A and B are shown apart, each in its own frame.
Chain A
Amino acid sequence: MDLLPNDEQTAIVDAVKEFLVGEAPVDRLRAHGEVGNPDAALWPRLGELGFLGLGIAEAQGGAGLSSAEEVLAFREYGRHLISPAILALTLAARVASAAGLLAAPELLAGTMRAGLANQRGPADLRAGTGVFHLIEAKGAELIVAWDEDGAALFRRDDFTIEPVRSTDALVSLERGTLSGAQPLAYLSAADDAIHDRARLLIAALAAGTAEGARDMAVDYAKVREQFGKPIGSFQAVKHRCAEMAIRTEAAWSLTAFASLAFALGREDSAFMATSAKIVATDAALKNGASNIQVHGAIGFTSEADAHHYLKRAHLLDQLGGDLRRQRERLLDMPSAL
C-alpha cells in the first residue's frame, strides 16, 4: 500500500508539470482575453508526448497505463485550469478506440477536436435523444456524452445548437439537442465503467483546481500587508488557508485511493469514485470561494485570476451530475467497508 507516486509515475508527473509550466501558465488566460480558451494549441503537443492516451491499451495506440497515471496528469491539468476539452479528448479517444473508429488515432494525436455533451435534462444516448450543454464543442468534430449506462460519440452536426453565454467565460458553452441521432460509437458501461472513470478524472481536475486556488491564496497571504504585517500572520486568514489545505489533502488522497481501487477492479471502486467526485468538487468550490475572500477587493475583480478557479469549480461540479446527484447515487450504493 502506497499512495505516493512511484519513480515511473513521478517521471510522468514531472513531464506534465514541465510542459504546463512552460506552455500553459495560468496567466496565459489573462493574456488571451476574457472570453474563449487558448488551449486547443496544446492538444497536438500533448498528443505528441503521449499524454492523451495514458489509460488506453497499447494495442489501441495508447500508453497502456492505468487510471492512477491518468489522475496524476489530470490533477496537473486542474492546477493549470486547462480547458475541460482535455476530458472530452480522453473520453472520446476511449470510446473511439474501443469501437475501432478511424478517428481514434487522430484523437490520440490531438489533431482532431472533441467537446463534451453534459445532460441538462432527460436523454437517451443509445437512441440519440436528449437535451445537453455542449462544452468546448465549438470547432470540435466529435462530441462525447456519458451516463450510468455507457458513453456515446456524436458528430457536432447531430445536434441542434443554440448559443448561450457561459458563466465560465473561458469555456465555450452552447445548448444542444439530439432528436434521434445514431451514435458514431457506443461503449456500454457493462464493458467499460467509463462513467466512474469520468468521475475520477473530474475529481482529479477538481483536486488540482482546489490546490491551485489554495496556492494562490497562500502566496498572496504571505506578501499582502495590512496593519504592518503580512495578512497570513493573522489567525483569521491563516486558518482559512489551513482549511483550504485540509480540503485539498482530502480531495487528492481520496482521488488517488479511488483511482487505485478502480484500476484493480475492486468491489469498492464505484463507491470510491463517487466519493472522490463529491469530496474533490466540494473542495474546489469552497477553495474557489476562499481564494476570493483572502484576496479582498482585488479577488472580486476580473483583473485577478481568483474568479477563474471558482467558476471552473462550478463547471466541474455540474459535469456528470452535481453534488446533489452524486450524493443521491452514493447513498443508494451498498456499504464499501
Chain B
Amino acid sequence: MDLDFTAEDRQFREDARAWLMANVTREPRPHEGRELREYDLAWQRKQYEGGWAGVSWPVEYGGLGLSLTRQLIWFEEYARAEAPDNHLCFVGLNHAGPTLIAKGSEEQKAYHLPRLLKGETVWCQGFSEPNAGSDLGSLRTKAEIDGDHLVVNGSKIWTSHGHLADFQELLVRTDPDAPKHKGISWVICDMTTPGMDLRPINIMTAPHHQHFVQVFYDDVRIPLSNVVGDLNDGWKVAMSTLGFERGTAQIKDQIRYAVLVERMIEEARARFGGNSPLSKDEIGSRLAQLRADMAAARAMTYMVVSRAQAGIQGSEASLMRAMVGEVQQRARRLALDIIGPDALENPEDDDRVFYYLRSYSITIAAGTAEVQRNIIGERVLGLPRG
C-alpha cells in the first residue's frame, strides 16, 4: 500500500495543472444543439493542440502513450481545474476509441483515432433497442451480408446525442441462428448513410431538452470493412473495452462531485450561517456525510486502479460504480434542499435543477443499479443465479 508518486509523475502533475489553469475555458457549456457540439469539440481540439489528449493512448495514433498513473493524474487535475465535461466526446474517447485500439484493423485505427483525439468527430452508441435494454444480448436489429456490404434493418434507442454525431458504434445481429451472444457484430456506422431515420426523444430535465434519438434503419448499407473484430464476435468486442481506462476516467467524476459538495457547503454556510452552526442543522449533517462518501468514492476508484495495475481481473469495479451512482444522486438532491422553495424554478442559467433531474439517469445508464447488484451478487459474492 502506498500513495507515492515518482518525481516525474509529480512534475507531470505540475505541468498539467499549469496548462489547465491557463487554458480551461470559462464560457458556460450549452445544454444542447449544434452549439453544444461546437463547444465540446473546440475544447477537445484545444487539449490536443496543447499536447494533452489521449494520455494513455498509443503514440502512433496521436496519443501520449503514458502510464495509467499519469492518466489518473491528468483526470484528477482536469477535475480540480473544473474543466468542462465534454460529454459529446465521451463515447468516442472512452468507448469507440478504446474498442478500435483493442480490436480495430490498422485502417480503422489510422482513420478514426487521430480524428477522435483532435476533436474532429463525435461518436454515439447504438446498443440498446426497444426490447433489449438491460437484456442487451436479446438485440434484434439484423444485418445481412450482400456482396461486400451489410444491409441493416431494425431500430436502436437511447442514443445520446445521436443527432449531433458523425459515427455510431452499432451492435447488429449477423447470425440469427447462433446462440444469443454469439451472432452479434460490432460495426462502425456513418451517421450520413442513406436509410437512417432519427426520431428525437426529449428528456425530463425541461420540455424542450433533446438528448436521445431513436434510430430506424431501413436497408442501410454499411461496408463489411466497417466490422470491428471478427464477424459474429461483436459481443466479445463490446466487452473488450469495458474498463479500458480501468477506472482512471472515473476519478474525474469523483473529484468533480467532491468539488460540487464543497461549493454546496459554502452556499449552505452563506444561507444558514447566521443563526446556528451548520453542523447542528440537518442539511449540515447530510453535507458532512456526503463529504465522507465522496472521499470513499475516490478511495474506491484508487482501489479499482490498484487492482488493474496488479492485473487482477474481476467484477469488483461494479462495487465502485454502484456506490458512486447513489452518492451522486444524493448530492444533486441535497443541492435542491439547500435552495428550498427556489427549487421550484428551473431557469436556463442555473444548473441545479437541471442536474438534479438529470441525475435520475445515473442509476439507469450503462447498466441499471439493479443489474449492477446482480453482477455484484453473482460474480463478486458467488451467489446463485435466479
Interface residues of A (CB under 8 A from B): 1-6, 9, 68, 72, 218, 221-222, 229-230, 232-235, 238-239, 241-243, 245-246, 249-251, 253-254, 256-261, 264, 266, 271-272, 274-276, 278-279, 324, 326-328, 330-332, 335-337
Contact = CB atoms under 8 A, between A and B. Distances in A.
B374 A235 contact: yes
A61 B319 CA distance: 40
A85 B177 CA distance: 65
A249 B303 contact: yes
A331 B322 CA distance: 25
A254 B288 contact: no
B284 interface: yes
Contacts of A249: 300, 303, 316, 319-320, 323
B380 interface: yes
A279 B293 contact: yes
A235 B376 CA distance: 11
20 contacts: A1-B302, A1-B306, A4-B310, A5-B1, A222-B384, A233-B383, A234-B386, A238-B383, A242-B373, A245-B376, A246-B323, A246-B376, A251-B296, A254-B296, A259-B1, A271-B291, A279-B295, A327-B284, A328-B288, A331-B287
Q: Give the 4 A-B residue pairs with the shortest CB-CB distance, closest first.
A: A327-B288, A238-B377, A257-B299, A232-B383
A6 B309 CA distance: 13
Contacts of B265: 331, 335
A97 B323 CA distance: 41
Q: Which of A68, A246, A274, A327 has the most CB of B within 10 A?
A: A246
Interface of B: 1-5, 69, 72, 80, 255, 258-259, 262, 265, 278-280, 284-285, 287-289, 291-293, 295-300, 302-303, 305-307, 309-310, 316, 319-320, 322-323, 370, 372-374, 376-378, 380-386
A258 B300 CA distance: 12
A253 B287 CA distance: 21
Contacts of B288: 278, 326-328, 330-331
A313 B124 CA distance: 47
B382 to A, nearest CB: 7
A245 B292 contact: no
Q: Which of A249, A257, A266 has the most CB of B within 10 A?
A: A249
A229 B386 CA distance: 9
A254 B299 contact: yes
Contacts of A233: 383-386
Contacts of A243: 373
B350 to A, nearest CB: 23
Contacts of A257: 3, 295, 298-299, 302
Contact of B380 (A222, A245, A278): A245
B192 to A, nearest CB: 43
A5 B316 CA distance: 17
Contact of A253 (B4, B262, B300, B381): B300
B79 to A, nearest CB: 9
Contacts of A259: 1
Main secondary structure of the interface of B (DSSP, over half): helix
Given A2-B309, A337-B259, A279 B386 contact: no
Main secondary structure of the interface of A (DSSP, over half): helix
Given A9-B1, A278-B289, A253 B377 contact: no
B377 A275 contact: no
B362 to A, nearest CB: 15
A72 B1 CA distance: 10
A113 to B, nearest CB: 31
B63 to A, nearest CB: 21
B1 to A, nearest CB: 5
B293 A328 contact: no
Contacts of A266: 3
B293 A250 contact: yes
Nearest to A271: B295
A247 to B, nearest CB: 8
Q: Which of B1, B288, B300 has the most CB of A within 10 A?
A: B1
A332 B303 CA distance: 28
Nearest to B68: A1
Nearest to A221: B383
A257 B300 CA distance: 9
A232 B384 contact: yes
A232 B383 CA distance: 6
B306 A242 contact: no
Contact of A331 (B1, B278, B305, B309): B278
Contact of A336 (B295, B309, B322, B376): B295
A48 to B, nearest CB: 26
A275 B259 contact: no
Contacts of B384: 222, 229-230, 232-233
Contacts of B292: 254, 274-276, 278-279, 327, 330
A246 B5 CA distance: 28
A318 B6 CA distance: 40
Given A239-B373, A278-B292, A261 B3 contact: yes
A333 to B, nearest CB: 8
B262 A328 contact: no
Contact of A239 (B69, B258, B320, B377): B377
A230 B278 CA distance: 48
A253 B296 contact: yes
Contacts of B293: 250, 279
B377 A232 contact: yes
A253 B285 CA distance: 22
Contacts of B382: 218, 222
Nearest to A72: B1
A249 B298 CA distance: 12
Contact of B4 (A1, A242, A245, A336): A1
B333 to A, nearest CB: 18
Nearest to B295: A275
B47 to A, nearest CB: 22
A2 B69 CA distance: 10
A250 to B, nearest CB: 4
Nearest to A234: B386
B386 A335 contact: no
Q: Which of A242, A251, A256 has the most CB of B within 10 A?
A: A242
Q: Which of B80, B255, B306 has the most CB of A within 10 A?
A: B306
A210 to B, nearest CB: 13
A177 to B, nearest CB: 28
A9 B292 CA distance: 26
B322 A242 contact: yes
A201 to B, nearest CB: 16
